[in-house]
Amino acid sequence: MTSSPASDLPVSLADVRAAAERLRGKAVRTPLLEVAALDQELGFRLLVKAEPLQRTGSFKFRGAYNTIAQLAPAARQKGVVAFSSGNHAQGVAAAAKLLDMHATIVMPSDAPLTKRERTKSYGADVVLYDRDREDREAIARRIADERGATTVKPFDDPRVIAGQGTAGLEIAEQAAEAGIELDAVIVNCSGGGLVTGCAVALAALSPKTEIYSSEPAEYDDMARSLAAGTRQSNPPGSRSFCDALMSTTPGEITFPIARRLLAGGFSADDAAVAKAMALAFDRFKLVIEPGGAVALACALQQRDRFRGRTVVAVASGGNVDRATFAKAIAA
């Protein structure tokens, strides 16, 4: 009820709290993990928010469910459609199933097999497209038009942002319960739904905490956009094994929130990400997918900056093929 410094933004703490109410008993309150012996080695206190343990194996269920649960009855009957490289697909498919709705998912044909198969297992129709030659938004739009289905956007929707923000709300609550003051929270960023949702919650509840985005090296559009003050895009032909974080530009809705609330943006290359996945395996016993491990990679790279401080890295997902994982931890 008090006015917040972010009260003119399209997503408020109240929206995130309402999302948390909708998600109660549906989403997992994922743990904030810590390895005491590792903290001593690193020289800073490192906590990992374990979204691989979330329903569907990534944070995406939060935003998808919060959005779909708010659809009017008439819209519910016509189902939902989404385009996604995988985690948003599973989030939407699982949320639709829980709410007794039909879902159609448009996925790139090079999405990891585990993500394609799992999406189908939730009862969704999967339509594949060629990432380099076809326009996924056009395909999704055509399906939405034909069936009257509602498109669930991957990030640029206040309902999606508020849903993802419940992860940040939990981080603030869990830190308070444990008596921990957080100096920084690093959040993986593709279009920016998760990082801005978390920022809305944390800016209100833990205003001294710095929030950073983390991106793959060749997909650092948010970091460059924050530095430039305007939305920047990644050049065509960029490549990364972080399949979950390959959006080309920050969202129209997410970027102004990010610009207001974020302290800056980090990025990490594939080798640093693989190293972070291996560390998570060795020490946290947590399976993190490449795109999910970028925040951890950035935290490790920023050891000097964070010396003596307390940092949360949000591990955003764990949906990775066995072969990719085995290769990453063998590197």
Among 36, 72, 74, 228, binds a second copy (CB under 8 A): 36
Q: Which amino acid is at 283?
A: R
Among 71, 160, 205, 287, binds a second copy (CB under 8 A): 287
Q: Which residues contact 199 (CB under 8 A, 6 or more apart)?
A: 165, 168, 187, 211, 257, 258, 261, 262
DSSP string, 293-311: GHHHHHHHHTHHHHTTSEE
Q: Could you tell me the smallest distance in angstroms from the CB atom of residue 204 to a second copy?
A: 27
> What is the per-residue burial (b if ≥16 Cβ within 10 Å, else e) of 92-111?
bbbbbebeebbbbbbbbeeb
Interface with a second copy in residues 301-330 (CB under 8 A): 318, 322-323, 325-326, 329-330
Whose Cβ is closer to a second copy: residue 37's or residue 74's?
A: 37
**Spatial distance between the Cα atoms of 235 and 322, rounded to a whole number of angstroms:** 30
Hey, is 81 helix, strand or coil?
strand
Q: Could you tell me the smallest distance in angstroms from the CB atom of residue 255 to a second copy?
A: 30
Interface with a second copy in residues 92-131 (CB under 8 A): 94, 114, 118, 121-122
291 in contact with a second copy (CB under 8 A):
no
Whose Cβ is closer to a second copy: residue 36's or residue 72's?
A: 36
Only segment of 7-15, 28-36, 103-111, 258-266 that touches a second copy (CB under 8 A): 28-36
**Spatial distance between the Cα atoms of 198 and 13, rounded to a whole number of angstroms:** 10
Interface with a second copy in residues 49-78 (CB under 8 A): 52-53, 55-57
Instruction: Kindly give the interhelix angle for 60-68 and 158-177, rounded to the nearest 10 degrees.
Output: 130
Whose Cβ is closer to a second copy: residue 208's or residue 285's?
A: 285
Counting residues that bind a second copy (by CB under 8 A) gives: 31
Q: Could you tell me the smallest distance in angstroms from the CB atom of residue 282 to a second copy?
A: 7
**Spatial distance between the Cα atoms of 221 and 232, rounded to a whole number of angstroms:** 6
Whose Cβ is closer to a second copy: residue 253's or residue 286's?
A: 286
**Spatial distance between the Cα atoms of 81 and 151, rounded to a whole number of angstroms:** 5
Binding mask 239-278 for a second copy (x = CB under 8 A): ---------------------------------------x
CB neighbour class for 238 (10 Å; exposed up to 12, middle 13-18, buried from 19): middle
Interface with a second copy by CB under 8 A: which residues? Answer: 31, 33, 35-37, 41, 52-53, 55-57, 94, 114, 118, 121-122, 278, 281-282, 284-288, 318, 322-323, 325-326, 329-330
